[in-house]
Structures are given as structure tokens and as C-alpha cells.
Chain A
């Protein structure tokens, strides 16, 4: 079974970490990632830019573009896409295509990725298609 492990914390608090502490935490996380990767169990790892860089596409009769992150508390995170886009407009277009394919309620938060590590789960571990 593949599991997504999603990271939550106060971005302000994390941004306020002093650099040596930040580096130390990142290094200890690397150790865990290395272990998982060597076992062929790690897929892509992404660090996102702060929510201040986010834009949200709110689905509806007409899609609305809102500055800032997803803020509803009555909807849950169901999945995510990593898409290479030349600009924010291109990213919004991609999200609008997704919204068209899946109309109704819900939102797409569009958040730039700070760093992507494109690890691959080993083939024999992936569930059969």
C-alpha cells in the first residue's frame, strides 16, 4: 500500500527557526528519507513555498480565483498534482481544466513548490496497475 504523509505545522513558527536549527532538522529528515529511499519505499518528496505565495481556484457555476491558501474547514484534502507551469496563469489554466473535468463543489489550491526530490518507489513494490 502507498501512503502519503502530509506535513502540517505553523509556517510562521518554522520560518522563525534560527538557521542552525533549521539545517539540523533538515539533516535529520534527510537521514529518514535516505533510509526509506534505500529500501525503495520513497516516492516524490516536495517542500512547498509559504501560503503567502498560494492562489486558490474555487469551483462553482463560474470558477473564482482567490489570493491565498485554501481556507475551508469543511472540505478535506483528497489528492494532489505536481504540474510544471511556465507561469501562474498556466497553473490556473491547468486547475481550470481539472475543474471542468470534475465540476461541482471543491477547490484547487495552487502552491509553488520550493524543492522537489523526484524519488521513485521501487517497481516491485508498486501495487499492480
Chain B
């Protein structure tokens, strides 16, 4: 059996725990990463011959730490300038590790690792890039490709981010319950941001960016394993799974956007839907609703509808009303308007979004939704103005093409009834 790809799976999944633990010992990102790389190299040599160890994670931590400590000592000799801070409390750690790491330890290590990546001093794009590099283990090249920037630019972005958090001084003690909850919500926000980087990808670049959505789901599952009873983490995971399930149906062959109600539902991924529904069921039992759970519940109602006509718009409207209370935002109200138009007609929906005009005047979807509602009401010239506004705000050819279709339709109407 020469196929060593199973080892990649083991190394990849052990990475967050191992790098998290090594970061606790060395308190230095670059050293922790170097140590992990070294441990992986040795695993690739040793495991095919001896078989995988019983606890690959503990093996990698041991080997990575010992190898790197040797190196640090050797370097210290050569350079004749021992860096005391690098070697501090390693002796304690050695005996502690011998007793094997318990899951509580792992949990705070990984959470710290994730939390460091979403330090508030870092702009969102750097948070995501750092998490992809350090936690998910993507190469700089892969991350650069996903973000459509050059490798050099991405390298610089990551180096800068690492520099900032090195100065930021994240405490290494186990966090208090309140701190843990805060970290958890910061990490959840970063994961959802990462997901949307991938999910909002247009078809032409989809393959590269879809990977980001996959990494986000992977991180959410990781978090859920550490915090199995947190309903918002269940909700976040469910939300991403249910949205990802529709990925294959969101664009047609020519790269045009296919709206939810026009999607071929047989292209939806049933396994992701099953998992998403199971998680949202679990979350609801806690009766501690939060924004991720409510959004997931909305996505679940779409996923449960065998045809668009069977969509439970009344329930969706209620859930959006809930979301408006939990997380007031004009964008949430705009989404609610779609449900309202299905339930009570376009006039009611229009009344709901008109007050948002000043706050959403530069938002593509606002003008798109408004145009569609006006069109349904037969107010064609106003609809045209909204679509014209939308087209100037489109962020991709697919969005512009979608609005173009509406305008063409209006043109044909005008030609028929001059």
C-alpha cells in the first residue's frame, strides 16, 4: 500500500491541536509552525514503516516540540546568545505533557489559536488569511489564489498580521467563562466571514473560492466538537451547511445567477441538508435563540420545501421579525420584505423597505429588490430607475447580467404596449 494520502488526512486534522499546543509552549507563531512542519516530515518517514501511532496528535506534539527544542538549543550555542524567553517554562511543560494532554487542554489551545487570528486589531481580511494559514494549514499560494491576489501580496498580508498579533499579547492562561464566551463569538464571526468569502464567489472563480466555504465548515465542526452544547455554534454550522448545499444550483452553465425559487432543487446536496437540519433541531432544543440559529432556521425552511410553492413564507416572515429584534439591521428588513411580498403582496413589501432608502442607497440588492417589487406592481418607469441604480452598483458581471434581464423584460413590455 503505497498510497500515503491517508496520512495527509491525519496530519491535516491534527494540525489545529498540535499547532495550538506548540504555540502554548513556544509562544511564537513561527516556531510553532516550524515545529509542526518538522513533526509532519518525521511522521511521513516513520508512519509508513511503523504504522500510525495510537494517538497521532500527542505523537506530533511530542516530536515537534522535542525536535524544535533541540534546534533552539543548537542555535543558541552557535549564536552564543541564548534567548531565555524562548526557553522559559519548557521544563514544566515536559513533565506535564508526559501525562498526555486532556481534552480540556486541547480545547483552550485551539480556541486560543483561533482567537489570536481574530484579534480586533486586525482587519477582517487579515483575520481570515491568518486563520487559513495557521489553523487550516493552507499554503500562502492557495490563499492568494482564493483571494485573487498575488502570492507576494498575500505573503506580505500574513506577515503583517503575524507582526501585529505578536505585539498584541494574548494571554496564555486558561480563559475565564466570560472570556471564553467572548472568544467564541469572535471566532464564530470570523468563521462566517470566511464562509461568505467563498459563498459569494461568482461562478468564474468559484472553484478556487468554494474551498474557503469548505474550510469554514471544517472550522465550525472543529469548534462544535470543542463546545458541543453551544446552540449558536450548532446554528452557525447548520447555517453554513444549508447554504453550501445550494452551491451547485446557484449559477447556470453560462455563469448567470439562478434565484432560489428558480433553482433546480435536485442539485441541492441532500447530505449537507440532512446534517444542517439535524443540527438546527439540536440547537432549538436549548431554547436560547440567537442570530445564527434564526438564520439557519430560515435556510432550513427553504431546504425543507420540495418546491418553491411549498415554502412556508409565514414562518419565514416570523423568523425574520425575530432576527430584526435580535440583530436590527436594514439588510435583515430587506430580506424580510421578500417574505412579506410572498405573503401580503408587493405593495406591503414596498412599504416595508421604502424607509430604508437612505441607509441602503449604495446597496445593490436594495435597488434590485425594489425594482422587482415595483415591476410586480406595474410601476414600470420607477422599476426601471431602480434597476438602473442597481446595475451601477453591481459587483460582478453575473449581478449586472441578472439586472439586465429585468431591464430587457421591461423593454419588451414597453414595445408591446407603447
Contact = CB atoms under 8 A, between A and B. Distances in A.
Interface of A: 10, 12-18, 21, 49-53, 55, 65-68, 87-89, 112, 114-115
B229 A89 contact: no
Contact of A87 (B229, B271, B281): B281
**What are the 5 tightest A-B residue pairs by CB atom distance, in nearest-first order?**
A12-B13, A68-B228, A88-B281, A16-B12, A13-B9
A67 B226 CA distance: 12
Given A13-B9, A17-B6, A88-B281, 14 more contacts: A12-B14, A12-B222, A16-B13, A16-B218, A17-B5, A21-B6, A21-B9, A49-B275, A49-B278, A52-B225, A53-B279, A53-B282, A67-B229, A115-B271
Interface in B222-272: 222, 224-225, 228-229, 234, 237, 271
Nearest to A55: B282
B310 interface: no
Give the interface SS of chain A, mostly helix, strand, loop or mixed.
mixed
Nearest to B217: A15
Contacts of A21: 3, 5-6, 9
Contacts of B282: 53, 55, 67, 88
Interface of B: 3, 5-6, 8-10, 12-14, 56, 218, 221-222, 224-225, 228-229, 234, 237, 271, 274-275, 278-279, 281-282, 285
A61 B8 CA distance: 46
B275 A114 contact: yes
Contact of A13 (B13, B221, B224, B234): B13
Nearest to A47: B271
Contacts of B8: 16-18
Contacts of B281: 87-89
A49 B278 CA distance: 9
Most buried by B among A51, A52, A87, A88: A52
B274 A17 contact: no
B285 A65 contact: yes
Given A67-B229, A68-B229, A88 B278 contact: yes
13 contacts: A10-B10, A12-B13, A12-B14, A12-B221, A13-B13, A16-B8, A16-B10, A16-B218, A49-B274, A53-B278, A53-B279, A88-B282, A89-B285
A109 to B, nearest CB: 12
Contact of B279 (A13, A52, A87): A52
